[in-house]
Amino acid sequence: MAARGQDGALDRAFAKVPLEQWLKNKGAEARIGWSMRIYPARMTAHQRLAAVVSVDIDGVEFLKRNKPGQVVVFLEIRDGDNRAYRNYRVMTLPKGNNPSDAATVSFQQNTFILPGEYSVAAAVYDRESKEHSLKRMKLRVPELARDPLRECWRDLPAVEFAGLPDPPDRWYLPEITSRLHLPVKTARPVRVEVVVNESPTEMATAGRTGRVSRRNMGNLIPALKVLSQMEIGNGSLNVTLLDLERRKVSFTQEEAGTLDWTRLRAALLANDPDQIDVHALENHEQNAQFFVSEVRKRLESSESNGDVPLGLSAEPARVLIVLSGPMAFPKGQDLRPIDATAEPGSRVFYIRYNPPISAPGGLTLGGLSGRRGGGPPPGAAVSVRGVLTQDSLEGTLKPLGPRLFDVTTPGEFRNALAAIMSEISQLK
C-alpha cells in the first residue's frame, strides 16, 4: 500500500532529494532488495492508454525501515522530448498488518500515456539513513492500429498520473482534467441527450437471475465522462442519470460539456445499491415504464434555437444516447415498448456495456456489433465472452429504431463512439 503524493507537496518532496545526481550515477547506492516492472500500455475505459509501473520492496528490507514514512519511492518518466513527469509514494502497510508477515510491500502507479518512447526511473529512498537505490527501464508505447479516433489525443500531455481512490472517484478519476479532442460539426442544430442507467444490473446468467451490483459502473462512468467531452459546435449536450429501482432522476445537467463531478459524485454515493427504501419497492413492476417515460420526455422536449441561417430548421435535431448495462427485470415487470417513433432526422443509439470480464485482455478494436433494428429479438440471450446475459431495455426502445452497440472492451467502445460521432455529424 502507498500514500499518494499530493499535488502541492510534489515539488517540495523532490526538492529534498538529489534525484538529478542519482540519475547521473553520482553517489553510492544502498543494497536494498526491490524490483521494478512496467506492464505494457493498454486501452482503458477512459479512452486513454495506461501503463502500470510496479515497485515491489522485499518485506525483509521494509522491516528494517518500518518507521512511518521512512521509505519513499520517487518516480520519473521522461518522454522523447526529454520532458520529465514526476510522482512519489510514501510506502505504508495497511492498518492491522504485521510487517514481519509481508513478503513484499508494493505499489502500482497507473499512468495515462501517449504513444512514444520513454525512459522510466524509480528510486527507493530511506529518509532516516539517506540511503537510496535506483533502477531504470525503457518503455515503448506503440501507435494504435486502425485507430478510428486518430486526433482525439492531440491536446493531451504525454504522461498523466492517475490515483487509486475508492469508488466513485476511481470510476471518474477527477484528478485527470485534460480533455479528449472530440469535435462534432453539424449543419443543423442538434441537441444530444445522454441517458445513463445507473441501477444495479439485473442479469440472467445460465438460467438464473441475479444482481451484478454496480460492478459495471467502472465502465459506465468513464464512458459518460468521455461522451461529455464531445464538442457539439452547433448545439448542446445534456446528461441524465436514472435510478430505475427507486424510479427517480438522480442527476441531470444541461450543457454538460464539463460534468459537475461534485454533484454527480454525491448522487452516486446517495444511491447505495445495497440499501433501498421499502417505499421504493412498491410498484416495482413499473421500473421499466419509468425508464420509458424519461426517454419520452427527452425526445419530446423542445427548445428555442434563436436565429438560424435560411434553409435550416429552427428545431434542433434530437439525438438520444442510452448508456446501460444489460437489464433483465424480474417477472411481472411492465415491459411495454415506448409509444413513440423517432422524428425524421433524429438518431437514437443504445450503448449496451456488458459487465467487465475477469480475465485480463489487451486492446481490442474489432468485433463491434452495430445495427439499427434487426438482430436477436428484444430480451433474447446475448453471448458475451461465454457469459449468457439477457436485456429487457432494448425491447422498450424498439419503436425508436435504435442503433445498438454491444460493447465489452474499451476498444469496442472507441469504435462505437467514432460511429456515433460520424452519424451525428451527417445530420441535415
Give residue limits of the domains in the chain. 2-162, 169-425
- Top pLDDT among 370 and 77 is at 77
Predicted confidence at residue 232, as pLDDT, reads 94
Per-residue pLDDT band at 282 (split at 50, 70, 90): low
| Pairing of the two strands 382-384 and 230-232 | unpaired
Pick the residue with more confidence: 364 or 189? Answer: 189
CA distance 320 to 420: 10
Residue 380 pLDDT > 70:
no
pLDDT value at position 231? 96
The CA distance from 20 to 25, in Å, is 9
Q: Summarize pLDDT for 29-49 with one digit per residue, the tens.
A: 999 999 999 999 999 999 999
Poorest-pLDDT segment among 169-173, 266-270, 274-278, 416-420: 274-278
Residue-wise pLDDT tens digits, 290-348: 999 999 999 885 544 444 443 445 689 999 999 999 988 888 889 999 998 888 888 99
The topology (CATH level 3) of 2-162 is Immunoglobulin-like (2.60.40)
pLDDT band with cut points at 50, 70 and 90 for residue 242: very high
Worst-scoring range by mean pLDDT, 30-34, 254-258, 272-276? 272-276
Residue 182 has pLDDT above 50, yes or no: yes
Residue 250 contacts residue 241 (beta carbons within 8 Å): yes
**CB 80, CB 118: distance < 8 Å:** yes
Measured between alpha carbons, how far is 274 from 373 in angstroms, rounded to an integer? 35
pLDDT score recorded for residue 330: 80
Neighbours of 102 (CB within 10 A): 18
Give the pLDDT score at 139. Answer: 98
> What is the average pLDDT across 172-181?
96
Mean pLDDT of the chain: 83
C-alpha cell at 272: 447505495
pLDDT value, residue 417: 98
C-alpha cell of 334? 411492465
Q: Is the pLDDT of residue 136 over 60?
A: yes
Cell of 207: 438460467
Which of 306-320, 321-335, 365-379, 384-398 has the highest mean predicted lDDT (pLDDT)? 321-335
Which position has the grid cell 441527450? Answer: 193
Is the pLDDT at 220 greater than 80? The verdict is: yes
Q: Would you state the pLDDT for residue 320?
A: 97
- Calpha distance 193→318 (Å, rounded): 8
pLDDT tens, 64-98?
888 888 999 999 999 999 999 999 999 887 665 66
3-state SS, the chain, equals CEEECCHHHHHHHHHCCCHHHHHCCCCCCCCCCEEEEEEEEEECCCCCEEEEEEEEEEHHHHHHCCCCCCEEEEEEEECCCCCEEEEEEEECCCCCCCHHHCCEEEEEEEEEECCEEEEEEEEEEECCCCCEEEEEEEEEECCCCCCCCCCCCCCCCCEEEECCCCCCHHHHCCCCCCCCCEEECCCCCEEEEEEEECCCCEEEECCEEEECCCCCHHHHHHHHHHHCCEEECCEEEEEEEEECCCCEEEEEECCCCCCCHHHHHHHHHHCCCCCCCHHHHCCHHHHHHHHHHHHHHHHHCCCCCCCCCCCCCCCCEEEEEEEECCCCCCCCCCCCCCCCCCCCCCEEEEEEECCCCCCCCCCCCCCCEEEECCCCCCCCCEEECCEEECCCHHHHHHHHCCEEEEECCHHHHHHHHHHHHHHHHCCC
Task: Note the pTM of the prediction, 2 decimals.
Answer: 0.85
- Does the pLDDT at position 209 exceed 70? no
Give me the mean pLDDT over the 108-137 stretch: 95
Q: For residues 338 and 290, is the Cβ–Cβ distance under 8 A?
A: no
Cα separation, 374 vs 406, whole angstroms: 13
Between 15-24, 149-158, 196-205, 393-402, the lowest mean confidence (pLDDT) is in: 196-205
